[in-house]
Amino acid sequence: MSDAAEQYILGIDIGASRTSFGLVSLEGKIFHPEIITSKVEGKLLADRVLEVAAGILDRAKAEGKKVLGIGIGCPGIVNSAEGMVVAAGNLPELFGARLRDIFAQKFRLPVFLENDVNADAVGEMVFGVARGQKNFVVFSLGTDLGGGIVADGRLHRGANFIAAEFGHLTLDLSGRQCVCGGYGCAREYVSGAGLADRGREELPIGSLALQMVGGDREKLTSKEIFAAWQKGDPDATRLVDEFGKRFGALVANVMKVLDPELVVLAGGVCRAVPELVNLVVRWTRHYYFPIPKLPEFCLSRFTKEDAVLGPAAVFMIEHKIHQPK
Ligand SMILES: [Zn+2]
């Protein structure tokens, strides 16, 4: 019989731009990491994911590694009870895909499918900065803004698997329509793409962030805006202050509903600009109750490759391989 150290979960994190793979040990070590581009002309993402997964599982077999199952994280609304992607705004080809059954039939392994940021939250609880925490929230800030809630030590999915859609909380009553059908959603302001849009609309000609992309507004991303902000540029500072205010108001709203002990800031934008933590704390304090003690705020330590830890951790919890303490 193999001992726990030789058992692994294949973790797959499907993203709008990149999809990550890795064989995750029960202690959270990642082997055979691979990252592919999610969108390739003329090829179906699900087929390519199956192909890469097959390659990693073959290597595991050759090395005598026992794979207990597959955990998959996917953006959008994911019905984890049925293992189906209900809707995925950024990856329409996955609408209605019964990924759990497709993978289970192909590889003859148990599979668990979960929303990507929900999976991140479980990953933080099992392997990350939220170890031992029972009430916390995750804000995942990248191109888009996602959320995850752990309440009383359990992932909170809601009645229709749409809990923790922090990016679609209304922040502006007269805001524009969002892809979700609502208006003035947080992600229009508090996300990498949202900040870049604001920059395109509001930065005056010749301002530092625009100079960094040769004056071409279409090429502007949040990266240049944050870089100009870090250099003290007044136009970028105005934009980032507004971004911080809205982010703080959003976090304060979520805290008033859930009263967490920890707020985890994750995702590519937070990784690239760790100073955001202070900005968010400052504005959260402004919009929150005037009590002396805020919950702890901390930056996720996960890298892009670590994205596979969440789906693997969800599998471990759901199959009772890992019991939360
Ligand atoms: Zn929305």
pLDDT band at 179 (very low <50, low <70, confident <90, very high): confident
Q: Which is nearest to 99 in space by CA: 116, 111, 107?
A: 111
Digit-coded pLDDT (tens) for 118-157: 999 999 999 999 999 999 999 999 999 999 999 999 999 9
Digit-coded pLDDT (tens) for 96-124: 999 999 999 999 999 999 999 999 999 99
What's the CA-to-centroid distance between 184 and ligand 1, angstroms?
Answer: 7
pLDDT at 313 over 90: yes
Is the whole-model pTM more than 0.75?
A: yes
pLDDT of 3 reads: 52
- The domains of the chain, with CATH numbers, are 4-125+304-318 (3.30.420.40), 132-299 (3.30.420.40)
What's the CA-to-centroid distance between 162 and ligand 1, angstroms?
Answer: 12
Rounded to 5°, angle at Cα 169 from 146 and 249: 95
pLDDT band at 27 (very low <50, low <70, confident <90, very high): very high
What's the CA-to-centroid distance between 97 and ligand 1, angstroms?
Answer: 22
pLDDT at 5 over 70: no
What's the CA-to-centroid distance between 175 and ligand 1, angstroms?
Answer: 11
What's the CA-to-centroid distance between 51 and ligand 1, angstroms?
Answer: 33
pLDDT of 292 reads: 84
Mean pLDDT of the chain: 95
What's the CA-to-centroid distance between 179 and ligand 1, angstroms?
Answer: 6
What's the CA-to-centroid distance between 22 and ligand 1, angstroms?
Answer: 31
What's the CA-to-centroid distance between 170 and ligand 1, angstroms?
Answer: 8
pLDDT of 151 reads: 97
Q: How large is the average pLDDT for residues 293-316?
A: 95
Chain centroid to CA 118: 8
pLDDT at 61 over 90: yes
Q: At what angle do helices 222-230 and 234-258 cross, to 10 degrees?
A: 110
What's the CA-to-centroid distance between 42 and ligand 1, angstroms?
Answer: 29
What's the CA-to-centroid distance between 168 and ligand 1, angstroms?
Answer: 4
pLDDT band at 1 (very low <50, low <70, confident <90, very high): very low
What's the CA-to-centroid distance between 189 and ligand 1, angstroms?
Answer: 11
pLDDT at 325 over 80: no
Q: How large is the average pLDDT for residues 36-57?
A: 95
Q: Which is nearest to 57 in space by CA: 23, 14, 25?
A: 23
pLDDT of 2 reads: 47
